[in-house]
């Protein structure tokens, strides 16, 4: 559309470049929210999980060593019982009595109600097997033990318990032997150690755990629950180095050890950390899931919140920027107004002199003899041109003075619809000549407006003139009025080509025009702008989506 002068669009340019700024702000805010909420959540869960693991291990270690202690008591009690029983018999019966096969058999039967004693033998101080009750009579009847290691030990200390060995029936056994108080003969029994096995098998060491007894050399005295034939070198080194009551933690296992059988053996309970921590790992997995879900929720909420917040800020910024631009324009117009008024005044006086002098020359020419004056017609023509251009300059200065109209405007109640119709009527002929249709969409019950009708009319005239020039030939100008809150709004939409980006920027600037110099001074819209500011209203111009431009005039209602 062709226009005379404008502001509007500085802001649209500034907005574009600031789009990335707001996107960056959003990212920053979201990042901050993550750092202050999600990160602590993760740290807390991590330390809690670590603490949880440590306390779990501690608890499991305690349980394991407790278990080892209770098993030790049972085993030691059992061993003591067997030993006490044997030494009780040596006190009770004489060698002479027990070396009689029949008497020993009687004792074996009485002793072996529980079935743990496999055989029973009597050996004199020289190692001779004097009597024997048990399944290996033929093999052992005449055996001399004088050279056996255990014989020497029992003769010296009065008691002996062997390591566990597998007997002929592949049952675990061990041998217990005691001497009489005078150490003159020995009562020896082979004891089934199946009991140890069942005691250990029932120990709750968890899946992947183990329980066994080892001797001082680290040899397994009971079968490993896991079926291991021997200790690994690593375990061996660890377990026999210190065979007191202890709990050892390795990467994979917890070992609880306790000495039994007066320190000859060590009971080992071993639990698999990973399997015993399975519950913990499950709990931790669940916690992680909860934290992940919480983090996700925080993230989503943060993004939504930040987006709406930043959008609001952006909107407010846009509004403020638009307002600033508006204020800048208003200030600019006020300054231009003052400048224009003083310049116009200074120019009007010389113009007056030029036109008067030119007129004077014109009149004096009347006295001259046309025939004697060679360039008579040229003078006349020149004078007319001077006067014509003075008139043109005068029109511009008078329009410039339009900026400085200050407070002295009328305030009368007006019918805005009527005023628009009257104004449009002034241009009806021109519109008709260009085959332009004027359409009115008036709100009939418009609110009252108290304003200066003639100044407002000037604004409408400018807008309509521009619209007609913009359309050129064949088109429609739609004028609508409506009340909106405390404002009355009049909109002038034309079917012209719309405003160029440059026009939108400079539309309301004085002397900005897209028309030829003889058609427009570029002052119409800038004066309209100052008029609307004076009347407490506003004017703006936009392009319509459906093409053409739309000028909106806003006035406060009363």
- Least Å from the CB of residue 535 to another protein: 14
Residues in region 16-55 near another protein by CB under 8 A: none
- Least Å from the CB of residue 556 to another protein: 22
Stretch that binds another protein, among 123-131, 281-289, 305-313, 356-364 (CB under 8 A): 356-364
Residue closer to another protein (CB basis): 234 or 366: 366
Tell me if 8 contacts another protein by CB under 8 A. Answer: no
DSSP 261: G
Q: Of these, 96, 315, 363, 430, which contacts another protein (CB under 8 A)? A: 363
The first and second tokens of residue 58, run together, are 């501690």
Tell me if 379 contacts another protein by CB under 8 A. Answer: no
Residue closer to another protein (CB basis): 157 or 406: 406
| Cβ neighbours, 10 Å, residue 234 | 9
Tell me if 198 contacts another protein by CB under 8 A. Answer: no
Between the alpha carbon of residue 396 and those of residues 24, 146, 230, 341, 359, the distances in Å are 50, 146, 116, 11, 21
Residue closer to another protein (CB basis): 283 or 386: 386
Residue closer to another protein (CB basis): 22 or 409: 409
Q: Which of 115, 117, 118, 114 is nearest to 135 (CA)?
A: 118
DSSP notation for 51-96 = HHHHHHHHHHHHHHHHHHHHHHHHHHHHHHHHHHHHHHHHHHS-HH
Q: What is the 3-state secondary structure (H, E, C) of 93-137?
A: CCHHHHCCHHHHHHHHHHHCCCCCEEEEEEEECCCEEEEEECCCH
Are 1 and 494 a contacting pair, CB within 8 Å?
yes
Residue closer to another protein (CB basis): 50 or 363: 363
CA 193-197-202 angle, to 5 degrees, is 145
Length of the chain: 558
Q: What is the 3-state secondary structure (H, E, C) of 454-514?
A: HHHHHHHHHHHHHHHHHHCCCEEEEEEEEEECCEEEEEEEECCCCCCHHHHHHCCCCCCEC
- Least Å from the CB of residue 411 to another protein: 13
Tell me if 405 contacts another protein by CB under 8 A. Answer: yes
- Least Å from the CB of residue 386 to another protein: 11
The first and second tokens of residue 147, run together, are 């050279």
- Least Å from the CB of residue 450 to another protein: 18
- Least Å from the CB of residue 384 to another protein: 12
The first and second tokens of residue 376, run together, are 């008579």
Residues in region 308-347 near another protein by CB under 8 A: 341, 344-347
Residues in region 483-512 near another protein by CB under 8 A: none
Q: Of these, 349, 375, 429, 473, which contacts another protein (CB under 8 A)? A: 349
| Distance between CA atoms of residues 258 and 247, nearest Å | 9
- Least Å from the CB of residue 349 to another protein: 5
Q: Of these, 99, 106, 159, 387, which contacts another protein (CB under 8 A)? A: 387
Tell me if 390 contacts another protein by CB under 8 A. Answer: yes
Q: Of these, 7, 190, 355, 465, which contacts another protein (CB under 8 A)? A: 355
- Least Å from the CB of residue 534 to another protein: 11
Residue closer to another protein (CB basis): 105 or 362: 362
Stretch that binds another protein, among 178-186, 404-412, 493-501, 521-529 (CB under 8 A): 404-412
- Least Å from the CB of residue 409 to another protein: 8
Tell me if 418 contacts another protein by CB under 8 A. Answer: no
- Least Å from the CB of residue 6 to another protein: 24
Contact residues for 503 (Cβ-Cβ < 8 A; gap 6+):
1, 3, 6, 512, 514
Residue closer to another protein (CB basis): 345 or 412: 345
Tell me if 360 contacts another protein by CB under 8 A. Answer: yes
Rounded to the nearest angstrom, the gap between the alpha carbon of residue 488 and the centroid of all alpha carbons in its chain is 48
Tell me if 407 contacts another protein by CB under 8 A. Answer: yes
Q: Which of 113, 185, 202, 101 is nearest to 145 (CA)?
A: 185
Contact residues for 361 (Cβ-Cβ < 8 A; gap 6+):
379, 383
Burial class (CB in 10 A: 0-12, 13-18, 19+), 400: buried
The first and second tokens of residue 528, run together, are 């309209």
Tell me if 409 contacts another protein by CB under 8 A. Answer: yes
Which helix (H) or strand (E) covers residue 441, if one does? strand 436-441
Q: Of these, 404, 417, 480, 483, which contacts another protein (CB under 8 A)? A: 404
| Distance between CA atoms of residues 324 and 328, nearest Å | 6
Tell me if 96 contacts another protein by CB under 8 A. Answer: no
Tell me if 356 contacts another protein by CB under 8 A. Answer: yes
- Least Å from the CB of residue 350 to another protein: 9
Residues in region 210-239 near another protein by CB under 8 A: none
Between the alpha carbon of residue 251 and those of residues 60, 155, 209, 286, the distances in Å are 15, 46, 14, 24
Stretch that binds another protein, among 81-89, 236-244, 254-262, 395-403 (CB under 8 A): 395-403
- Least Å from the CB of residue 360 to another protein: 5
Binding residues (CB under 8 A) for another protein: these are 341, 344-349, 351-357, 359-360, 363, 387, 390-391, 393-394, 397-398, 401, 404-409
């Amino acid at each position: 559309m062709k226009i005379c002068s404008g502001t509007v669009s500085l802001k649209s340019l500034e907005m574009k470049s600031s789009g990335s700024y707001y996107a960056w702000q959003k990212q920053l805010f979201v990042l901050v929210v993550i750092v202050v909420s999600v990160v602590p959540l993760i740290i807390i869960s991590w330390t809690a999980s670590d603490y949880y693991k440590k306390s779990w291990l501690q608890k499991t270690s305690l349980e394991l060593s407790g278990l080892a202690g209770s098993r030790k008591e049972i085993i030691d009690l059992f061993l003591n019982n067997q030993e006490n029983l044997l030494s009780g018999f040596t006190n009770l019966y004489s060698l002479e009595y027990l070396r009689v096969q029949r008497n020993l058999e009687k004792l074996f039967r009485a002793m072996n109600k529980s079935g743990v004693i496999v055989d029973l033998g009597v050996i004199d101080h020289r190692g001779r097997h004097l009597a024997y009750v048990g399944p290996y009579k033929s093999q052992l009847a005449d055996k001399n033990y004088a050279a056996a290691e255990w014989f020497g030990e029992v003769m010296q200390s009065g008691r002996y318990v062997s390591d566990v060995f597998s007997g002929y029936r592949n049952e675990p056994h061990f041998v217990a032997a005691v001497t009489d108080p005078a150490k003159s003969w020995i009562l020896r029994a082979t004891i089934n150690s199946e009991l140890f096995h069942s005691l250990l098998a029932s120990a709750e060491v968890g899946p992947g755990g183990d329980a066994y007894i080892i001797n001082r050399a680290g040899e397994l005295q009971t079968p490993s629950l896991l079926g291991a034939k021997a200790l690994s070198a690593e375990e061996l080194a660890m377990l026999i180095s210190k065979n007191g009551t202890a709990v050892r933690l390795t990467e994979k296992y917890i070992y609880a050890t306790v000495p039994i059988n007066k320190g000859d053996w060590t009971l080992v309970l071993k639990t698999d950390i990973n399997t015993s921590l399975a519950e913990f790992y499950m709990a931790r997995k669940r916690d992680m899931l909860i934290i992940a879900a919480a983090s996700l929720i925080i993230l989503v909420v943060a993004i939504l919140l930040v987006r709406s917040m930043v959008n609001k800020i952006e909107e407010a910024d846009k509004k403020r920027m638009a307002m600033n631009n508006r204020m800048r324009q208003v200030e600019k117009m006020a300054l231009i107004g003052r400048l224009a008024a003083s310049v116009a005044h200074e120019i009007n006086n010389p113009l007056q002199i030029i036109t008067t002098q030119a007129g004077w020359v014109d009149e004096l020419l009347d006295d001259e003899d046309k025939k004697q004056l060679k360039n008579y017609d040229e003078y006349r023509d020149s004078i007319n041109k001077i006067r014509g251009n003075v008139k043109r300059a005068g029109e511009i200065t008078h329009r410039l003075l339009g900026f400085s109209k200050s407070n002295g405007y009328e305030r009368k109640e007006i019918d805005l619809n009527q005023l628009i119709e009257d104004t449009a009527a002034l241009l009806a002929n021109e519109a008709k000549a260009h085959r332009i249709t004027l359409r009115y969409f008036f709100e009939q019950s418009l609110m009252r407006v108290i304003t200066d009708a003639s100044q407002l009319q000037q604004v409408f005239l400018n807008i309509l003139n521009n619209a007609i020039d913009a359309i050129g030939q064949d088109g429609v100008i739609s004028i609508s009025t409506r009340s909106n809150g405390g404002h009355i709004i009049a909109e002038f939409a034309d079917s012209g080509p719309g405003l160029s980006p440059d026009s939108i920027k400079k539309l309301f600037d004085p002397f900005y025009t897209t028309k030829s110099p003889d058609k427009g001074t570029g002052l119409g819209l800038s004066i309209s702008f100052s008029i609307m500011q004076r009347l407490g209203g506003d004017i703006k111009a936009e392009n319509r989506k459906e093409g053409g431009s739309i000028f909106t005039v806003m006035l406060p209602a009363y």
